[in-house]
């Protein structure tokens, strides 16, 4: 068995992998979602609809989108293109583990900002490919390109995210096993997931 296969089976929370829906980064992001009575949310990359259902329970009217239909309510939308929504259409844009797959994340993020209402919120997560533990693993040949999914096109650092979201608050977690604590300092160095919160 290759070192990479062994690493992926370890119950260490490095973002996604075996912990897909309960990674600490995802839980931190979900914790940022406020009650949404009479509000509208866009779930970008809804997959099986797990977060869409969560948002509905929070009171939001949810529009789930993805490039393929794995969830009954999903609308097929390619977020690499201009989004088929009017300006200021949503109170919340939820986008977890999507921007690293895109052709041009900055273009898509501009679209998010266009369709977000004044006072609306963007909550987004993406792998932090240059945190300390990934830098350490790179010494052994386990680069972010090898550790993460094959369809990732971008490998973000904290600096990249600050450039894309200059007014955002950043959160993450540390350590990566058993007791994991939410942090808002040294996020770029310590956390394998970047949790981005921005209000328009």
Mean pLDDT (whole number) for 111-137: 94
Measured distance CA(100)–CA(185) in Å, rounded: 23
Eight-state DSSP code of residue 117 = E
Domains of the chain: 12-199 (3.40.50.150)
Higher pLDDT, 143 or 110: 110
Of 163, 161, 187, nearest to 174 by C-alpha is 187
pLDDT value of residue 16: 57
pLDDT value of residue 7: 55
Of 158, 180, 179, nearest to 170 by C-alpha is 158
**Tens digit of each residue's pLDDT (9 = 90 or more) over 139-182:** 888 777 776 777 788 999 999 999 999 999 999 999 988 889 99
For residue 49, name the pLDDT band (cuts at 50, 70, 90): very high
For residue 128, name the pLDDT band (cuts at 50, 70, 90): very high
pLDDT value of residue 177: 83
**Tens digit of each residue's pLDDT (9 = 90 or more) over 72-87:** 999 999 999 999 999 9
Mean pLDDT, rounded, of the chain:
90
With contact defined as beta carbons under 8 Å apart, do 65 and 79 qualify? yes
**Tens digit of each residue's pLDDT (9 = 90 or more) over 84-94:** 999 999 999 99
Q: Does residue 42 surpass a pLDDT of 70? A: yes
With contact defined as beta carbons under 8 Å apart, do 173 and 181 qualify? yes
**Tens digit of each residue's pLDDT (9 = 90 or more) over 96-109:** 999 999 999 999 99
Quote the tokens at residue 183: 């942090």
Measured distance CA(134)–CA(45) in Å, rounded: 25
Mean pLDDT (whole number) for 178-187: 94
Higher pLDDT, 151 or 45: 45
Measured distance CA(108)–CA(50) in Å, rounded: 23
């Amino acid at each position: 068995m290759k070192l990479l296969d062994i690493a992926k089976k370890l119950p260490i929370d490095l973002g996604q992998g075996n912990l897909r829906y309960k990674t600490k980064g995802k839980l931190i992001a979900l914790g940022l979602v406020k009650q949404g009575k009479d509000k509208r949310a866009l779930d970008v990359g809804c997959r099986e609809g797990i977060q869409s259902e969560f948002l509905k329970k929070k009171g939001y009217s949810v529009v789930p989108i993805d490039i393929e239909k794995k969830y009954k309510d999903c609308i097929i939308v390619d977020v690499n293109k201009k989004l088929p929504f009017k300006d200021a259409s949503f109170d919340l844009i939820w986008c977890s583990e999507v921007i690293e797959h895109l052709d041009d994340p900055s273009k898509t993020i501009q679209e998010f900002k266009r369709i977000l209402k004044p006072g609306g919120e963007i909550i987004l997560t993406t792998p932090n490919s240059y945190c300390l533990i990934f830098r350490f693993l790179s010494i052994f040949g386990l680069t972010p390109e090898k550790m993460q999914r094959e369809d990732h096109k971008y490998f973000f650092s904290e600096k990249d995210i600050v450039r894309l979201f200059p007014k955002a608050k950043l959160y993450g977690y540390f350590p990566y096993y058993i007791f994991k604590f939410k942090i808002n300092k040294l996020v770029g160095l310590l956390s394998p997931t970047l949790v981005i919160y921005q209000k328009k």
